[in-house]
Structure 1
Amino acid sequence: MLFSEEIKLNLPDAEISYFPNFFNLEEANTYFDLLLNDIPWQQDDITVFGKTYAQPRLTALFGHNGNPYSYSNIIMHPRGFTSALSEIKKKIDDQTETTFTTCLANLYRDGQDSNGWHSDNEKTLGTNPIIASITFGGARYFNLKHKDNKDLKHKLLLEHGSLLLMKGTTQHHWLHQIAKTRQEVKSRINLTFRIIK
């Protein structure tokens, strides 16, 4: 059962779909306010190439099964889903015919908050992980680049209330990031749902 228009990105070695109006404006506004105030946001230190610095965004982890999630030498332990996150998860589960176990929430406070080039390829996510990414708040560009073919790049504006779905071999072949921007952007909440075995 499809809830909104699906745009499939025509990229080799990837299965990526974008649903621009997965949540309508009223729903998206309500969820943004709820999540901004209800989530216990934290800022972890991240170590990259031997240097440690404050992660350039705030995060929180939620899950059903108590399994921790680790990336970039950070180990996060999940809290139980809030009622708002449970509602959002149900709609995504129904759309994707998948049962997600875990949600990594990210708060990008302004254009200087970012996420560096990476793949969601941690072993706990399995071989061909499915990642569902929701955006509430300020629109930000989602950059993609192929790991082997340097000429293959793509940029997509993730809008308020949208769903981005990555599955299949996407994480094997592509890196993605939310880059810093000097443009004035509103705060963005990003919910990334995944399955941790």
Structure 2
Amino acid sequence: MIKNIIFDFGDIFINLDKQVVFKAFINQGILEFPPSYLALNDDFEVGKISPDEFISKLQSDFNHLSSTEISTIWNSMLLDFPEYRLKFIEDLASQKKYRLFLLSNTNALHIPHVEQIIGMDRYVRFKNCFEQFYLSHEIRLRKPNKEIYQFVLDNNHLIPEETLFIDDTLENTEAASKLGIKTWNLLVGKEDIIDLKNKL
């Protein structure tokens, strides 16, 4: 029986365009997106480097771009947060049937931009739906490393078999399932978080 639900954020609640950043940087003169950028992103998502350090490292390859332009490109993957999804999670939280948690790989540039594009009022409403609101750059852990799932389980005394984790990235749900957590790898474009009742 599911008693706890852990939600991802991007492409579960807020819509993303994950390819737009790659395309934008390629359009700025690189032939392909180098693996070093992925490592840089990983460090940024666990708070190892500050936003200024992150932008500075990218500027070494794109010195014709200002820090504001790089920040704008990086945040361009963040799209809209449909109101029906916000109402869905608010309704679920009001039922008090499940303990709700958010677990997101994100960074110190994205969150202020999310607050801006969806509005602080809606962001606070969303955040208040969860018992804990875990952002990777704040807890210095990121998916799919098993330590992040164990962190959530241990800190909230959750039993894996009573816990459902929802994420759009298969690598993340597979990692969680190895700890005994129930999972739903949501297929973006084919499924929506409001279909959750069919998974419980």
Give the helix-richer structure, 1 or 2: 2
Give the strand-richer structure, 1 or 2: 1
Q: TM-score, normalised to structure 1's length?
A: 0.31
Q: TM-score, normalised to structure 2's length?
A: 0.30
Query: Based on CA coordinates, which of the two structures has the bigger radius of gyration?
Result: 2
